[in-house]
Amino acid sequence: MSASLTTTFDDKNSETSTLTSPTLVLNCGSSSIKYALISDDNSTRITGLAENLGLDTARIKHTTLNGEKLEISIPGGRHKLALQKILELLEQYHFIAVGHRVVHGGREYSKAVRVDEHALEEVKRLKILAPLHNPANALGIEAVQAIYPDMPQVVVFDTAFHQTMPPVAFRYALPKYLYEEHKIRRYGFHGTSHAYVSERTSQITEAKGPHGWLTAHLGNGCSAAAVYDGKSLDTSMGLTPLEGLMMGTRSGDVDPSLHMHLKRQLGMSLEETDKMLNNDSGLLGISGLSNDLRTIEQAASEGHEDAQLAIEMFCYRAGKYLASLSCALPEFTGIVFTGGIGENSDITRNKILAVMRHFGIKIDADKNASLVRGKEGSFHADDSSIELWVVPTDEECRIAQETRQALNLI
C-alpha cells in the first residue's frame, strides 16, 4: 500500500471528507475493542467501540467521518469477528498502518516497536504481568495479521514511557532476586496519556523549560506521574495498575498484609481479595452507589454521607500522592489534570489542590469553573507558586504518532 494515499469518501448524507494516510489505532480489551482511524496530521478521525464481546449483546458502535452513528449487532461475536467487521467498515480508507495499545511491555520495551514474530511472542509472554490485558492485545494483532498479512503493525506499550524511572523509584524494598529473576518492580501505566499531556502542556505554557510537571490522569483508572524534561521520573501505579490512587472500582494503596488478614479473619482466598480490590473498591466501595463520579457528586449534594466521604477520600489521596510525587521533580512547574474526572470536575480539582495547602498554589476560580470537557487551558492565579492546567488526553493521537515514528513515516 502507498505511504501517502488520500481517500475521498462521499458520505451518503453529507459533504465529501478526506482522511490522508490514516493510521488505525486499536485498543483491544478483554471484552471490548476501541478503535480510531486518524489522518496523518491528526486533524480527522473515525472512531468506534465493539463491546460486550462474547455475549448475545455484542455490538459495534461506529461513528462515520461525518458524524453519523451506526450500530451493528454481532450476537456472541468475539474479538476475531468484531475485528473483521471493523476492518470491513474501514478498509475503504486505505489505512497504512495499525498501532496497538498494549498494556504491559515489561522491562524489555521503552518505546513502540514494529510487530514481528519476536514482539508478538513478547506481548504474549508478558501476560504473566498483565493476565487480563496482554492476551486480548495479542488477539488483536493476530486478527489483523490474518486479514492483512502485509500491513505494518506497531505495539505501543502503556508501560514504556515510565521506563525512564530511576531504580530509587521503580524498585520495591524486596529481596533482590525477585527483581532480577522475576521482574518484580514498579512499571507504571497510562504512559501514553502522561506522555501526551505533559508534552502538550510544555508546548502551550509560556514558562521557560525544562519543565517539571505532575500529571494527574483521573478517569475510571487513576494515576499520577512526575515528568521532568519529557521523562517520567516516578508514577503512582506499580507492578500492576492497582497501586496508587483511589480509582472508580480499584482501591489503590492498601496495607500489603491485607490479603493475609482477610484470609485469616474471613477465609477469603487470594483471588477473592484480588477481585474485591480491583472491582468492588474505590469510589464504588466507599460510596456504595457507583463508580461514576457524576452519580456520587449528585448524591453528595443531596446529603448522602458515604458519597461525601468517597469524594473527600478520593481528593485527599490524590492530593497526598501529588505532594509526594513532587519530590521526584528537580523543578516544579505545575500540575496537569486530565481524564474524565480531571477534565470535568472543577470541584474535584479544587479539593485536591486544597489538600496541597502548603505549596502556595493559588487558583483562579472563574477559569477553573470555565474548563469543561474537551477544553484545554490554565487556571492558576497570577500569584500562584506553580501553574495549573487542564489538558484533555488524547491517547489515540499519541499512539498514531508513535506508530508512524516506529515505521519511519515521520
Which residues are known to be catalytic?
Answer: 158
Least CB distance from residue 57 to ligand ADP, whole Å? 19
Q: Is 294 annotated as a binding residue?
A: yes
Cβ distance to ligand ADP smaller for residue 39 or 344: 344
Q: Is there a binding annotation on residue 341?
A: yes
Applying CB under 6 A, the residues found at the interface with ligand ADP are 219-221, 248, 292-294, 297, 339-341, 344-345
48 versus 221: smaller Cβ distance to ligand ADP: 221
Q: Which residue in the shown chain puts its C-beta closest to ligand ADP?
A: 340
Q: Tell whether residue 292 is among the known ligand binding residues.
A: yes
218 is annotated as contributing to ligand binding:
yes
Instruction: Report the residue number, 142 or 306, with the smaller CB distance to ligand ADP.
Output: 306
C-alpha cell at 198: 505533559
The response to whether 27 counts as a known ligand-binding position is yes
Minimum distance from CB of 290 to ligand ADP (Å)?
8
State in angstroms the smallest separation of the CB of 340 from ligand ADP. Answer: 2
Tell me the one-letter amino acid at 119: A
From residue 38, alpha-carbon distances to 20, 21, 22, 195, 302 in Å are 8, 8, 5, 18, 43
Q: Is 344 annotated as a binding residue?
A: yes
CB of 222 to ligand ADP, least distance (A): 8
CB of 220 to ligand ADP, least distance (A): 4
Nearer to ligand ADP, 238 or 340 (CB): 340
Nearest residue (CB) to ligand ADP, 95 versus 337: 337
Q: Choose between 191 and 219: whose C-beta lies nearer to ligand ADP.
A: 219
Report whether 219 belongs to an annotated binding site.
yes
Minimum gap (Å) between residue 359 Cβ and ligand ADP: 24
- CA angle in degrees (0–180, nearest 5) for 246-248-249: 90
Residue 343 in marked binding region = yes
Give the integer Cα–Cα distance in Å for 293 and 314: 10
Q: Which 3-state string (H, E, C) describes the chain?
A: CCCCCEEEEECCCCCEEEEECCEEEEEECCCCEEEEEECCCCCCEEEEEEECCCCCCCEEEEECCCCCEEEEECCCCCHHHHHHHHHHHHHHHCCCEEEEEECCCCCCCCCCEECCHHHHHHHHHHHHCCCCCHHHHHHHHHHHHHHCCCCCEEEEECCHHHHHCCHHHHCCCCCHHHHHHHCCCCCCCCHHHHHHHHHHHHHHCCCCCCCEEEEEEECCCEEEEEEECCEEEEECCCCCCCCCCCCCCCCCCCCCCHHHHHHHHHCCCHHHHHHHHHHCCHHHHHHCCCCCHHHHHHHHHCCCHHHHHHHHHHHHHHHHHHHHHHHHCCCCCEEEEEHHHHHHCHHHHHHHHHHCHHHCCCECHHHHHHCCCCCCEECECCCCCCEEEECCCCHHHHHHHHHHHHCCCC
Could you list the residues known to form a binding site for Mg(2+), using ranges: 27, 395
